[in-house]
Amino acid sequence: MLRNWKVWLVVLLVLVSFLSVEPKRMDGALVKSVTYPASEYIKQGSIITMVNGIPINSKEDFYNLNLNGTVYIVYKVKKFPYVYVEQDSVALKSDYLDLITVDD
């Protein structure tokens, strides 16, 4: 066991390095659930970052929107753990926003 102490040390250091890396906190509203027909455009787990050019930093920002007609949403999609890719804006009817439940 002591002969392989260097291997165990490397394994321990790798584990500690993974645990010490804190993922970057993203601003926006996390989409908890989506109902049809909005589910055709945005998926659960996405992070809404902007609506009609208005930055969204929290769920309160999202729920305080007063919009009519067509809205343009910019959101991020999780590709890998801790890796999100920003999607181009999606045009939705403002009524569809009521079908999206978000959380911080």
Domains of the chain (ranges; CATH) run 24-103 (2.30.42.10)
Whole-prediction pTM value? 0.66
Which tokens sit at 4? 């392989």
Q: What would the mean pLDDT of 35-47 be, rounded to a whole number?
A: 81
By the 10 Å C-beta count (0-12 exposed, 13-18 middle, 19+ buried), 56 is classed as buried
Residue 104, pLDDT score: 54
**Residue recorded with tokens 């321990």:** 12
Which of 94 and 45 is assigned the larger pLDDT?
45
Give the pairing type, strands 54-55 and 70-80.
unpaired
